[in-house]
Structure 1
Amino acid sequence: MKDKSIDVTAVGVRRRGDELVAAILQAAWDELMEVGFPNLTIERVATRARTSKPVIYRRWGNREELVLAAIQHHLPMPSEQIPDTGRLRHDVIIVLKRMNRLIEEIGPEILHGLMSVLGGIPFSELLNLRRTNVMPLILKRAVERGEIHSEKITERIIRLPMDLVRHELLITYQPISEQTLTEIVDDIFLPLLKK
């Protein structure tokens, strides 16, 4: 009589909920690191996660959403501590250096590919910087210390350092050099805020 036992490793164990999501996100991250954003397919992710394409599409509408979720799942949240060195310049440079470390870990080409198809998503969200009040709080503290005047602060000014980092990444496809970060702060950002 033929053995009718099922080979669990061939079929895969049926997973649900958080366990399934974690497996899919890990598979997406592994594919991303192995083949890059342009070559990543939902089919390959499904095969790697031992699930099906419809299961993935029920949760994520397209590969861009899946890749964004994989990045946010894989990378540690940046430090929740908002820098408070007592100087606006130092605080902003710390935030930009944190962003740059994330760019290096994700990879500039992957970020560039995502930005090209997810144009409307804020760069800070793409980099897993979910605390959107970082720059406003840094600027508020600088106003309280008398470093800058509050009337100089606009929404565009608040976004400017991160927008310039994003622009540099789009142009160079490279992590941003420390010299460039310093120039963004010293030559562009701070002069717009000075008394």
Structure 2
Amino acid sequence: MANTRRRGAELEDAILRAAAAELTEAGYPGLTMERVAHRAGTNKNAIYRRWPHRAALAVAAYRHLAEETLKPPDTGNLREDALTLLRAINCGQTSPAARVLRSLLTGVGDEPDLREQLHEQAAAGGTAPWLAIAGQAVASGEARPGALHPRVATTALVLLRNEYLTRGLTTVDDEVLVEIVDEVYLPLVRA
């Protein structure tokens, strides 16, 4: 029988998929390293070598799940790219990634490690697709170079999150998305 032991990226992918599945089924309170290890077909030591505690694993699993579902669009038009990305995020609020995130957010009050990990994720996690579309727009001359600053590039995302938080919504009307893009994001980033 051939050795089927997984290593490196293949093992990490299996662990993150297992953790995401556990989070989807049991939520953050039900997440254990033992269950993830069993589901991934590995041992707890392999997990702990990569993630020092379950909060780090949970946030990494969320990031992995979110990255699989949220790719930056490239329509050739900054407005369309921004609207496409905002609409995907907005529609995704009922996705497994969004359910996992809500589960993680409910655990924040009791766990400082989780709060810290989520803060780091929020700072870095949603930035990549926005920087990608800003980079495309800067390269085409549609946006100014200052659009590549993470705080500028993610302005539309931050405003969408604000709608969720302040209004208690899980999705936002499309008119609000258009307003965010047309009235705030585009005037801020355009060349």
Instruction: Please state which band the TM-score falls in when normalised by the shorter chain.
Output: 0.5 to 0.7
Range moving further from structure 2, 114-123 or 26-35? 114-123
Report how far residue 94 of structure 1 moved.
Answer: 1.4
Are the equivalent residues in 1 in contact too, given 2:130–2:154 (CA < 8 A)? no
Provide Cα deviations, 1:12-67, integer angstroms capped at 9, x if missing partner. x9833155434322321211110123432223222333433222111112223323
Shift in alpha-carbon separation, 1:16–1:173, aligned structure 2, 3 A: farther
The structure 1 segments of at least 4 consecutive aligned residues displaced by more than 6 Å after TM superposition are none
Return the alpha-carbon distance in structure 1 between the equivalents of residues 158 and 185 of structure 2. 11
Q: Show the counterpart of 2:7.
A: 17
Are the equivalent residues in 1 in contact too, given 2:163–2:172 (CA < 8 A)? yes
Residue type of the alignment partner of 1:84: G
Confirm or deny that 1:82 pairs with 2:82: no
Residue type of the alignment partner of 1:180: V
Q: Show the counterpart of 1:35.
A: 26
Q: TM-score, normalised by structure 1?
A: 0.66
Provide Cα deviations, 1:131-178, integer angstroms capped at 9, x if missing partner. 563242254267x35xx7x48858333221122223334443614442
Return the alpha-carbon distance in structure 1 between the equivalents of residues 41 and 145 of structure 2. 56
Map 1:22-101; keep pairs closer than 5 Å: 22-74=13-65, 76=68, 78-79=70-71, 81-85=73-77, 88-101=78-91
Shift in alpha-carbon separation, 1:152–1:56, aligned structure 2, 3 A: closer
Shift in alpha-carbon separation, 1:173–1:40, aligned structure 2, 3 A: farther
Are the equivalent residues in 1 in contact too, given 2:27–2:104 (CA < 8 A)? no
Any unmatched runs of 5+ in structure 1? 1-12
Any unmatched runs of 5+ in structure 2? 109-114
Residue type of the alignment partner of 1:35: A
Report how far residue 184 of structure 1 moved.
Answer: 1.5
Return the alpha-carbon distance in structure 2 between the equivalents of residues 179 and 40 of structure 1. 38
2:94 to 77, 101, 104: 104
Q: What is the identity percentage for the equivalent residue pairs of Structure 1 and Structure 2? A: 31
Return the alpha-carbon distance in structure 2 between the equivalents of residues 58 and 193 of structure 1. 41
Q: Show the counterpart of 2:178.
A: 182
Return the alpha-carbon distance in structure 2 between the equivalents of residues 125 and 57 of structure 1. 22
Return the alpha-carbon distance in structure 2 between the equivalents of residues 124 and 60 of structure 1. 17
Q: TM-score, normalised by structure 2?
A: 0.67
Are the equivalent residues in 1 in contact too, given 2:86–2:157 (CA < 8 A)? yes
Return the alpha-carbon distance in structure 2 between the equivalents of residues 179 and 84 of structure 1. 22
Range moving further from structure 2, 158-167 or 14-23? 14-23
Q: Aligned residue pairs: how many?
A: 175
Q: Show the counterpart of 2:134.
A: 136
Report how far residue 124 of structure 1 moved.
Answer: 6.1
Return the alpha-carbon distance in structure 2 between the equivalents of residues 104 and 123 of structure 1. 22
Larger-Rg structure: 1
Residue type of the alignment partner of 2:131: N
